[in-house]
Amino acid sequence: MNFKIKAGQTVAIMGETGSGKTSLINLIPRFYDTNSGEVLVDGVNVRKRKLSQLRSQIGMATQDVLLFSDTIDGNIAYGDSDMSEEDVKHYAKLAAANEFVEKMPDGYETIVGERGVGLSGGQKQRLSLARALAIKPAILILDDTTSAVDMETEKYIQDQLAHLDFDCTKIIVAQRISTTKRADRIVILDKGRVVDVGTHEELISRPGYYREVYELQNGIAGEKKGGAA
């Protein structure tokens, strides 16, 4: 596997279950290291950087959302305990969380149970995204972060991510074409290997995994079969 991501780019990672998507993104913050080869951030091998310094530059929101037994405010501001209430609300709005938070009994002072007990999957994902954005990371890694939200909410979040008020390189693991199609580049993985790279337009123009998913999600494959019959 060998590819580069330029600073400021949005790169989507796609592939079947078990293709290596989550393993790949876990190498960047060094949740574990490679057996061979190297992972570079700003041209420096991640193994040669202080772990605290490396991870302070990275915001992550993953499928398995970890929320703390704390207020919603405390969960969003976890990376900066001095964050103002105004800033907490700002990042909640970017993640489409503010509306449901303000409807809760104690608003941002509502206590959430460990792992977000009492919140829906989509609500937990949005709070996790707000927390990741709140540290203004140089690298934002999203692993299927909007899988539990509706299409309208997802579109809103994608619009916000496209116009952040800080410089950020985005790496997005997703299965929805609606999430990946705006990316500068889309990387397709299969069994731990990069098998295709291109833009949305390039990948739907040629046979392969991406076009198959695109046709399936847009009902095109069914239409073709129906027409052939």
Please check the confidence at residue 150 and state whether its pLDDT lies above 60.
Answer: yes
What pLDDT does residue 113 have? 76
State how far the Cα of 75 lies from the Cα of 209, in Å rounded to an integer. 37
Per-residue pLDDT band for 79 (boundaries 50, 70, 90) equals: confident
Q: What is the mean pLDDT of residues 109-133?
A: 87
**CB atoms near residue 60 (< 10 Å):** 22
Please check the confidence at residue 228 and state whether its pLDDT lies above 80.
Answer: no
- Taking CA atoms, 74 is separated from 59, 87, 105, in Å, by 16, 12, 16
What pLDDT does residue 114 have? 66
Span of 50-59, 114-123, 219-228 with lowest mean pLDDT? 219-228
| pTM (2 d.p.) | 0.90
Q: Contact at 8 Å (CB) between 46 and 129?
A: no
What pLDDT does residue 223 have? 56
What pLDDT does residue 69 have? 87
pLDDT in tens, 196-222: 999 999 999 999 999 999 999 998 865
